[in-house]
Structure 1
């Protein structure tokens, strides 16, 4: 009896916690990793939730497994958003989309250009498989197509998914990339996606409660060379893959820069005046948080958080 009583208390506690969270805009870090496979960090993905509305931003490797651990049913997700079309952010879109179709979900799908082409081509390639799966419940593909809407986001017009206002802005990366802002009930969360320094991001993220941002330049535990930057953003770490925004010579390499360094990310967080800066998209499992924080502190004085899979924001 004692065992069942303890279990009941745990379940009741989880229910109360879930109810409290439902009253707030939350972000669950579904995956905090990178293209590098890791059993500790799934690929990039963030679940935005408010009351009964859930929006999934990016769908990297391991997304489905972590949604299951989070007790999130794909049929209950109202929006699927892409920051950009790199495989490490999108590789589990196909099975998630299939489950959404089978679940009869009313789903908004949006992202930068090629989003509609990806969905259209997927349906064309797998139409027989989808029809077969739907036939088991007496439905057809033509019937369920009305359940989802796909949009290429090419202007700056905000839209709503449920009661959550979704705004977006182009950011600088190797391909077309969008950052998203989610606002409801006086609360706001921004997801940057992959980026280098982008003037649009501080504008989009102005006074946001949370900025979930690319962790480029984060210092791994045991790293021999630290990412040393001064307040002007000058990068003094020759081993860092990223160059800073200003004050340095251009790299002799013609390789396009893909990710921020700590000087850039902290500068954007400062310019945006965000309350909390949340680093994600880690190449390393173990991060030297003290050393990384010291670099960020040269620009940003707000709260700094290091994402882990299944971390829920705000933390209560």
Structure 2
């Protein structure tokens, strides 16, 4: 399995860290987890495209995780996709997507009539609203949805991909979550969100101390995420979806290393990890992690 971090940011606008999204490649299959801002550009940067995605898994329906869904759909059509978009998400996904497509219906009808493209199959949606448990079987691959703790969001999931020999877990957005720890046991890679509390300061007119505490309450703190990885016995921890997007990476690493002795990657957009070879690549840099 190869994991590529497409966007490692959050709702804060950043030219370095785009919105949350990850790509998982398994054999000839390509799966997308979340669809944050800039996902279609990052897919091209990762050597892929929306037309190649076999399924999209939405962790929850917060705007930063779904904001570029229509862009993914229409750009995949422009790229020549010849099949519907297969989308898995929490309850409410169908209502959201039906509303999204209705919003753009007149524009789409005009494009379809005028552009005369060979197919409109890419504009069709195959939607599955999931509950905790197995949500997809594809040959040897199983995808499991794990209910995580992102209250007051009613339904939020992490996802675990496993083929029996390799395993990758994505946390989604969550506070410290024993259920996720159990599901991610012995994962070759745990891709986990990270809220860096010490970097979040109150700013008049932007956020109050109460705002910071409320947001922190449904995310995993940088002082907790190492404990998550240690308890899960993860073979590699990949930090992702940083709040805020700018932070002291050395201080973050020290916090995580206080609890977790395994390899830690402070994620960057377009960073890739291969679970089979344990190779990490980012741009022209390649690093081999020790055998697990």
Give me the TM-score of the superposition, normalised by structure 2.
Answer: 0.80
- Alignment of 1:130 with 2:108, yes or no, is yes
Q: 1:54 aligns with which of 30, 37, 52?
A: 30
1:284 shift after superposition: 4.2
Q: Tell me if the contact between 1:47 and 1:54 (Cα under 8 Å) persists in the aligned partners.
A: yes
Question: 1:97: Cα distance to partner?
Answer: 1.8
Structure 1: gaps (5+ residues) = 1-24, 225-237, 243-253
In the alignment, which residue of structure 1 is the partner of 2:204?
none
**Residue of structure 1 in register with 2:181 after alignment:** 202
CA contact (8 A) 2:195 2:244 kept: no
- Count of aligned positions: 263
Change over 3 Å in CA distance of 1:256–1:297 after alignment to 2: closer
* 2:88 is aligned with 1:110: yes
Cα distance, 1:296 vs structure 2: 1.8
User: Displacement, 1:116?
Assistant: 1.1
3-state SS, counterpart of residue 263 of structure 1: coil
Q: Cα 1:239–1:256, aligned 2, differ >3 Å: closer, same or farther?
A: closer
Residue in 1 aligned with 2:162? 183
Is the Cα contact below 8 Å between 2:230 and 2:260 reproduced in 1?
yes
Deviation (angstroms), 1:304: 1.0
Larger strand proportion, structure 1 or 2? 2
Closer/same/farther in 2, CA of residues 160 and 130 from structure 1, 3 Å limit: farther
Matched, 1:68 2:44: yes
| Residue pairs, 1:160-175, within 5 angstroms | 160-161=137-138, 164-174=141-151, 175=153
Partner of 1:214: 193
3-state SS of the aligned residue for 2:56? Answer: strand
Give, in whole Å, the separation in 2 of the partners of 1:309 and 1:190: 18
Residue 164 to residue 130, structure 1, CA distance change in 2 (3 Å): farther
CA–CA distance in structure 1, aligned partners of residues 215 and 57 of structure 2: 28
1:215 alignment partner, SS class = strand
Match of 2:233 in 1: 273
Q: 4+ residue runs of structure 1 moved beyond 6 angstroms?
A: none
Q: 1:162 to 1:96 in 2, by over 3 A?
A: farther
Partner of 1:154: 131
Q: Cα distance, 1:210 vs. partner?
A: 0.6
State the TM-score, normalizing by the size of structure 1: 0.75
Name stretches of at least 5 consecutive residues in structure 2 with no aligned partner: 202-208, 275-279, 281-287
If you compute each CA radius of gyration, which structure gives the higher value, 1 or 2?
Answer: 1
Query: RMSD of the alignment, in Å?
Result: 2.7
